Amino acid sequence: MSKTRRTGTDHENQTRDYLNANGFGVEREAFSSPLGDLKGAPATIECKSHKHITLSDFLEQTKRSDARTGHDMPIVVVKRRQHNIKDAYFVTDLEHGARLLKAYQICLEIGLLEEGATDG
């Protein structure tokens, strides 16, 4: 396995493990799947570990995968070099980000979450 592929696989595994430790049941997709890198979440998740970050390219690829999955929630988890996985960049567009903020607001209002509380 090439160093580049190993780095990407490691990032996918770390993202999977972090999400699972926070209550999700995600698994890695097959290598080069057109459905994203992780499955089992109500979103299409691509994991990127590149020296140069090109958000527009990453998000466009994820949106193409998202169209295939039908989740209508494209998310890119971009590795932040030399940082813990919890510090990775969580990227989507404003349309989907607004939906996530609304869901968070509703969870706060009905008491499912406490503002400022973290599990990770």
Going by pLDDT thresholds of 50, 70 and 90, the confidence category of residue 6 is confident
SS3 content of the chain, % helix, strand, coil (to 5): 45, 15, 40
Going by pLDDT thresholds of 50, 70 and 90, the confidence category of residue 119 is low
Rounded average pLDDT over 17-45: 94
Mean model confidence pLDDT for the chain: 94
pTM for the whole structure:
0.90
Structure tokens at 9: 């696989």
pLDDT digits (tens, 9 = 90+) for 55-86: 999 999 999 999 999 999 999 999 999 999 99
CATH number assigned to the domain with residue range 3-93, chosen from the 4 options 3.40.50.1980, 3.40.1350.10, 3.75.10.10, 3.30.70.20 = 3.40.1350.10
C-alpha 9/C-alpha 11 separation (Å) is 5
Beginning with the edge strand found earlier in the chain, give each strand of the sheet holding 38-39 in spatial order.
27-28, 38-39, 44-48, 74-78, 89-91
Going from N- to C-terminal start, the domains of the chain cover 3-93
